[in-house]
Structure 1
Amino acid sequence: MGVRWVQKVSSAPAFARVAPHVIPALDRAVHRVTRGRVLLSAQLLPGVVLTATGAKSGVPRRTPLACMPEEGGGSWILVGSNFGRTDHPAWTGNLLAHPDAEISWKGQDIPVTAHLLEGEERAAAWKELLCFWPPYSTYQARVEREIRVFRIVRR
């Protein structure tokens, strides 16, 4: 299965309706069974499992996410695209309320702090993201909200 085919499928509105219900559940199950060594979605894009404190509940929430690792290995970019759906994904609100979190990256648990990118910093990251995964432009075109972009760094 080619990357271009996957990019085309992931840009389809039907994918945006189905994927949020199926992909994270599969990723969480495989991640748990393999003790953090495997994420299915990471076969196409690098991925982490983010554990962030719920903004309202205060309960730890685990969310498998695609990420763009940055050079140097100490930071990653996370995109709140929500597959081009109308609302911001819950994990982005959790990071806004509680920026200290943890990721599982290649089987290693890493404490991180999240920073919402804005202005020129966001624009520069967004440009890199579109080269990294072009469907992000389709997701942004589909929604009126500005997709949230976070940089997470090791604590």
Structure 2
Amino acid sequence: MKLPSPPSQRDVFLKTLDVHQAIYEHSRGVLGHRLLMGMPTLLLRTTGRKTGLTRTTALVYAKDDRRYLVVGSNGGARRDPAWVLNLEADPAVEIQVGVRRMPSTATVARTDDPDYERMFALCNKANRGTFAKYRARTDRPLPIVILRPRTAG
């Protein structure tokens, strides 16, 4: 009897991310904000540009004054992640940081933004250098998404 081959390191990593997001969502943010190796993580809820359904993604973030910054790295893949395309189509999003849920507005910063490198450095530090590794893997410029919580009133 031939045993199945073990999962790849990438498959294990992706499954770990799925479990982390499930814990974050099902605990309503009580667990998950810093569950994955202690890195700050938020939940980003976008509206699917094709389906109109709410899509949730757990992302490492950097805080920049009152703004939250996330990177559309997609693991260094050739294409932007679907959530970036979704928020470009509809920038009204919701973020959840721990137990706090905040309606927010998303803006995509590209490499021509004069503040791009500073924001990238903040995000890369929050993600312990991983975004620089992803950037080295691809010719695609990694978008930085600026999330601005909307205040009531």
Q: TM-score range by the shorter chain?
A: 0.7 to 0.9
Structure 1 unaligned segments of length 5 or more: list them. Answer: 1-13
RMSD, matched Cα: 1.9
Q: What displacement does 1:25 show?
A: 1.6
Q: What displacement does 1:150 show?
A: 0.8
Greater CA radius of gyration, 1 or 2?
Answer: 2
1:150 to 129, 141, 145: 145
Structure with higher helix content: 1
Equivalent residue, structure 1, for 2:11: 18
Q: Once superposed, which parts of structure 1, at least 4 consecutive aligned residues long, lie more than 6 Å away?
A: none
Letter in 2 for 1:115: T
Q: Residue 114 of structure 2: SS of its match in structure 1?
A: helix
Check conservation: 2:62, 2:122, Cα contact below 8 A: no
Q: What displacement does 1:26 show?
A: 0.6
Q: Residue 55 of structure 1: SS of its match in structure 2?
A: coil
Equivalent residue, structure 2, for 1:3: none
Letter in 1 for 2:64: E
Check conservation: 1:46, 1:69, Cα contact below 8 A: no
Structure 2 unaligned segments of length 5 or more: list them. Answer: 1-7
| TM-score, with length taken from structure 1 | 0.80
Q: Residue 88 of structure 1: SS of its match in structure 2?
A: coil
Letter in 2 for 1:21: L
Check conservation: 1:49, 1:62, Cα contact below 8 A: yes
1:139 to 122, 134, 139: 134
Q: How many residues align?
A: 138
Check conservation: 1:20, 1:83, Cα contact below 8 A: no
